[in-house]
């Protein structure tokens, strides 16, 4: 199947759909997993390839474009690429592509307005749907383990892109924190990974998985494409096999550089980088990105680091919150309250417990940054603060409000992650390009001939979303 895909320049799902259709019409005799033979109409005896009549090239190109319609490479109702781009994409001459477009227009597959073409609203029904297996960490209740805004975006865009590409998603959870790694379904049933004919490949989210390379070794036996979303830094990745592609948006200097460019555009010559999580690679790289972009401007432009290296993320502070006296007192309160609740409502106490611990955690994070904020305010040459992420930026915003420091009149403030809380608090933030990451993963799995190569890490550039906490210096 993959050899046919490479030779024809279309995805494996397109090849499979065509083979299913030809088999249904009696033109192919198939034995899945063994062979595919061309047969005479109404017969089951193989014939040689030399007896098969070759189609003209323009008809082959027309069939390829029609298959791309069915495979979802072109969305109904959207403009078709220009003629020159179509020539390059399908390696044909100008007269051939014009003949193909005229044929598609006559068949009603596309609409024409002058020299512009648009895909028709309806291009027939999909007879067969392949699937992609999504592997990620899960909760004991059989739900994806999601703790950040970026993970929510990932699952949201993944469902949208899979629907647009006309593939089904099968979710399997992977748990490797126990004595033995296991796979289980959303119904909390232990399962094994399968390699069915309709599985195009696998997407692996490494978030919350202790050692994702063990899972990759299981997947290597299937010899199908695997797209891995990396939570770790680039140095931690072990590149293995060309069918695997690694995707990363958080671990690079790009976010810091983009934030630095934004502050320079607003006229800020001296900026403070504030991070209580500087024990992490991602915090160090964001700081390095700011340093690099300001170093290029000369000596009068400076980045002032205010960092603590004892923690790598908010989870370090979460562990401290669970060990405190206040947390123990709250645990006694939870037991008292939960004992008086209806049984079906007791599960909500877990969320209540988590929210309460989160407030304690946030208080600890703010206390670790408080002294740094006072020192930043004492230095009148510093006109902006770039916090390590939105969580830190919003906590600093609360502190500045309590001190009656006007933002952004006295000092500008920005974060990273573009969370929903940053939107509601009108915080300037850096938006990671999760949508492009998901789209590239789907293209890698479906065998899109125009997808990037799979032998290196793929990074994605985001953008700074400006809101009310930053302004142009007068």
pLDDT in tens, 293-330: 999 999 999 999 999 999 988 888 988 887 767 667 76
Residues 49 and 135 in one domain: no
* pLDDT at residue 104 in the model: 83
User: Does some domain include residue 282?
Assistant: yes
* pLDDT at residue 385 in the model: 98
* pLDDT at residue 374 in the model: 97
User: Does some domain include residue 305?
Assistant: yes
Q: Where are the alpha helices (DSSP H) in 403-433?
A: 420-424
Residues 241 and 313 in one domain: no
Are residues 245 and 458 in contact, defined by beta-carbon separation less than 8 angstroms?
yes
* pLDDT at residue 37 in the model: 58
Overall pTM > 0.95: no
Show the domain range for 11.
2-119
Residues 441 and 357 in one domain: no
Residue 205, CA atoms < 13 Å, CB-side half-sphere: 26
pLDDT (tens digit per residue) in 217-263? 888 888 888 999 886 554 445 554 557 788 887 778 999 999 999 99
CA separation for the pair 130, 446 (Å, rounded): 9
User: Does some domain include residue 225?
Assistant: yes
* pLDDT at residue 220 in the model: 84
Instruction: Pick the last residue of a domain from 97, 119, 141.
Output: 119
User: Does some domain include residue 465?
Assistant: no
Residues 455 and 370 in one domain: no
Residues 393 and 373 in one domain: yes
Helix, strand, coil percentages for the chain (3-state, nearest 5): 45, 20, 40
Residues 7 and 95 in one domain: yes
Which DSSP string corresponds to 295-316? HTT-TT-EEEEEE--S-SSHHH
Going by pLDDT thresholds of 50, 70 and 90, the confidence category of residue 284 is very high
Most confident of 105-114, 159-168, 207-216, 286-295: 286-295
User: Does some domain include residue 473?
Assistant: no
Q: What is the CATH number of the domain that holds 8?
A: 1.10.10.10
Residues 158 and 282 in one domain: no
Residues 442 and 386 in one domain: no
Instruction: Pick the last residue of a domain from 60, 91, 119.
Output: 119
Indicate the SS3 state at residue 346. Answer: coil
User: Does some domain include residue 472?
Assistant: no
**444/333: higher pLDDT:** 444
Residues 103 and 163 in one domain: no
Residues 191 and 62 in one domain: no
User: Does some domain include residue 346?
Assistant: yes
Residues 368 and 258 in one domain: yes
**Positive or negative torsion for Cα 24, 30, 33, 35:** negative
Average pLDDT for 17-36: 65
**Positive or negative torsion for Cα 463, 467, 470, 474:** positive
pLDDT (tens digit per residue) in 30-60? 554 445 555 554 444 444 444 445 678 888 8
* pLDDT at residue 348 in the model: 66
* pLDDT at residue 43 in the model: 45
Residues 412 and 321 in one domain: yes
Q: What is the CATH number of the domain that holds 193?
A: 3.40.50.2300
How many structural domains compose the chain? 3
* pLDDT at residue 100 in the model: 87
* pLDDT at residue 76 in the model: 75
């Amino acid at each position: 199947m993959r050899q046919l895909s490479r030779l024809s320049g279309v995805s494996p799902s397109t090849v499979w759909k065509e083979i299913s259709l030809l088999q249904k019409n009696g033109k192919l005799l198939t034995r899945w997993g063994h062979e595919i033979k061309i047969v005479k109409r109404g017969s089951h005896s193989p014939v040689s390839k030399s007896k098969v009549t070759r189609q003209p090239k323009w008809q082959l190109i027309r069939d390829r474009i029609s298959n791309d319609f069915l495979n979802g490479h072109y969305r109904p109702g959207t403009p078709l690429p220009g003629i020159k781009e179509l020539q390059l994409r399908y390696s044909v001459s100008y007269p051939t592509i014009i003949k193909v477009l005229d044929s598609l227009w006559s068949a009603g597959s596309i609409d024409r307005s002058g020299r512009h073409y648009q895909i028709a609203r309806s291009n027939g029904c999909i007879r067969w749907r392949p699937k992609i297996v999504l592997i990620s960490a899960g909760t004991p209740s059989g739900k994806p383990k999601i703790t950040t805004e970026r993970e929510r975006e990932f699952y949201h865009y993944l469902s949208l892109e899979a629907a647009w590409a006309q593939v089904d998603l099968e979710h399997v959870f992977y748990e490797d924190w126990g004595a033995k790694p296991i796979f289980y379904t959303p119904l909390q049933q232990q399962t094994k990974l399968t390699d069915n004919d309709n599985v195009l490949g696998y997407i692996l989210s490494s978030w919350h998985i202790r050692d994702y390379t063990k899972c990759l070794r299981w997947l290597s036996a299937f010899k199908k494409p695997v797209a891995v979303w990396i939570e770790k830094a680039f140095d931690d990745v072990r590149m293995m096999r060309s069918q695997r592609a690694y995707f990363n948006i958080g671990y690079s200097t790009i976010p810091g550089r983009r934030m630095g460019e934004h502050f320079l555009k607003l006229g800020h010559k001296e900026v403070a980088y504030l991070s209580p999580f500087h024990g992490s690679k991602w915090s160090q790289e964001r700081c390095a990105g700011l340093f690099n972009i300001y170093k290029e401007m000369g000596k009068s432009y400076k980045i002032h680091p205010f960092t603590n290296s004892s923690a790598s993320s908010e989870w370090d502070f979460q562990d401290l919150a669970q060990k405190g006296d206040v947390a123990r007192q709250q645990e006694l309160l939870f037991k008292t309250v939960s004992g008086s609740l209806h049984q079906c409502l007791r599960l909500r106490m877990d969320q209540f417990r988590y929210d309460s611990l989160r407030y304690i955690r946030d208080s600890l994070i703010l206390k670790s940054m408080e002294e740094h904020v006072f020192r930043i305010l004492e230095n009148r040459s510093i006109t902006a603060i770039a916090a390590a992420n939105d969580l830190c930026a919003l906590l600093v915003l609360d502190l500045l409000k309590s001190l009656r420091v006007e933002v952004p009149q006295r000092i500008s403030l920005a974060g990273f992650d573009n969370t929903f809380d940053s939107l509601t608090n009108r915080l300037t933030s850096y938006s990671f390009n999760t949508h492009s990451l998901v789209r590239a993963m789907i293209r890698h799995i479906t065998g899109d001939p125009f997808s990037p190569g799979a032998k290196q890490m793929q990074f994605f550039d985001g953008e700074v979303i400006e809101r009310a906490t930053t302004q142009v210096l007068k």
